[in-house]
Copies of this chain bind each other. A is one copy, B any other.
Amino acid sequence: MTISEAIPTPVRLSAVAAPGQPEPTPALEHLYRGFEQEMLVPLWTQIGDLMPAQPNSKAAAHLWRWENLVKLAAEAGRIVPVGRGGERRAIALANPALGGRPFATPTLWAAIQYLMPGEDAPEHRHTQHAFRFVVEGEGVWTIVNGDSVRMSRGDFLPQGGWNWHAHRNAASEPMAWIDGLDIPFSYYTESQFFEHGRDRLDAQETGTPEYSRSERLWAHPGLLPLAQTQAQHTTPLLAYRWVDTDRALNEQLALEREGYPATLSPGHAAVRYANPTNGRDVLSTIRCEMHRVGSGARTLAKKEVGSSVFQVFDGQGTVTVGDKQWAVRRGDMFVVPSWQAFSAQCDAGQASLDLFRFSDTPIYEAVHTYRSQVDAQA
């Protein structure tokens, strides 16, 4: 059963007595029956939903606990095989207000993926942009166009659309990580292509190198190889290592302490993962960031057009999304719907609260509809 079959098709219009609506009369009923027959819907019955004063997201702010995600993923690891057809043992967050669909937000897919020792997820490619982020564990290599990329705690691994990729667990323990993709956006805009690759990788691709060829070519600060110097729409750098991210965040907080501008607000350091060939987002539909909120600090409350998914990378604290608030800890994931105010506070006893975030911001920037608003702090 596909989702589309579940959608009812006829137009149904009711003449109702309501402010802004025409008076219900037999003539109006006759008109509405005519509309239904011709597959027409008047603006005046829909304008409140379609053209609100500001975004009024269909999605709900929601939290998923990491311990529950891991428990169910491990259970799936025991009973659901990985292979051609299902392709991946990926289990997606389904926003409670989005109709049971596997969409974390209207545009973003977020899933926990799980691979047992010795397992391979078969090679394929798709136009949807993707990334992996590792909150814990190690032992899996993702093989992108034949380049084996190690996945370790804190690493961010983007993978632009239409690149061949497979995953291999080369270790003796299961491993879980999260995937982010623009599946819902591609689904609504109907722009997806997909192809199966080879069922088995070549022997040379099954190595477990410390660093991928991609990193050896591209992970040097401010240095681009002359042999491949053209700007590329998606990043050619396939791994952003935690050691670099951690240092960048620490330096921002240190500079702030020394009196120099470096942070978003007091105690709130953040980096954006960037495509080194053009400085833009790693993926043309998904922005990825790592935030560090220092001990006891609180971020400014900010509303943005578009939606985000967060995962707590480290530390403990409290996050506020619209009118909801949760105490969060390592691995917990939550979504921020469009134009709902978000802020985070690090618990006083913690070194910091580290939050990985991905959002659909590049889409709005590309079509010039991005807006944001920082609320005055209470």
Contacts and interface: CB of A to CB of B under 8 A. Distances in A.
B40 A305 contact: no
Nearest to A220: B248
10 contacts: A20-B85, A22-B81, A31-B72, A35-B72, A50-B187, A106-B190, A223-B248, A234-B368, A276-B276, A278-B279
Given A42-B102, A225-B272, 16 more contacts: A7-B97, A20-B85, A22-B80, A31-B72, A42-B76, A43-B88, A43-B90, A43-B92, A56-B190, A161-B369, A216-B255, A216-B262, A218-B221, A222-B240, A222-B274, A224-B272
A186 interface: yes
Interface string A117-161: 000000000111000000000000000000000000000000001
Contacts of A101: 41
A338 B188 CA distance: 11
A263 interface: yes
Contact of A195 (B10, B53, B91): B53
A284 B365 CA distance: 11
Contact of A127 (B97, B226, B270, B369): B369
Given A47-B87, A99-B9, A274-B224, A38 B279 contact: no
B191 A368 contact: no
Q: Chain copies in the assembly?
A: 4
Interface stretch (A314-322, A324-332, A341-349, A356-364): A356-364
A53 B193 CA distance: 5
B72 A40 contact: yes
Contacts of A195: 53
- The residue in A48, A127, A248 that gathers the most chain B C-beta atoms within 10 A of its C-beta is A248
Interface residues of A, number: 158
A377 interface: no
- The residue in A102, A222, A234 that gathers the most chain B C-beta atoms within 10 A of its C-beta is A222
A51 interface: yes
Contacts of A216: 251, 254-255, 262
Contact of A90 (B42, B99, B260, B279): B42
A351 interface: no
B237 A191 contact: no
Contacts of A339: 190
Contact of A235 (B11, B88, B222): B222
Which 4 residue pairs of A and B lie closest in terms of their CB atoms, listed nearest first?
Answer: A20-B85, A44-B86, A41-B102, A366-B366
A58 interface: yes
Given A28-B79, A244-B221, A100 B279 contact: no
A54 to B, nearest CB: 5
A10 B100 contact: yes
Interface in A8-50: 8-12, 14, 19-22, 25, 27-28, 30-31, 34-35, 38-44, 46-50
A12 B261 CA distance: 49
Contacts of A224: 271-272, 274, 279
A46 B222 CA distance: 34
Nearest to A244: B220
Interface in A201-239: 213, 216-229, 231, 233-235, 237
Contacts of A43: 86-92, 102, 111
A41 to B, nearest CB: 4
A235 to B, nearest CB: 7
Contacts of A164: none
A66 B330 CA distance: 58
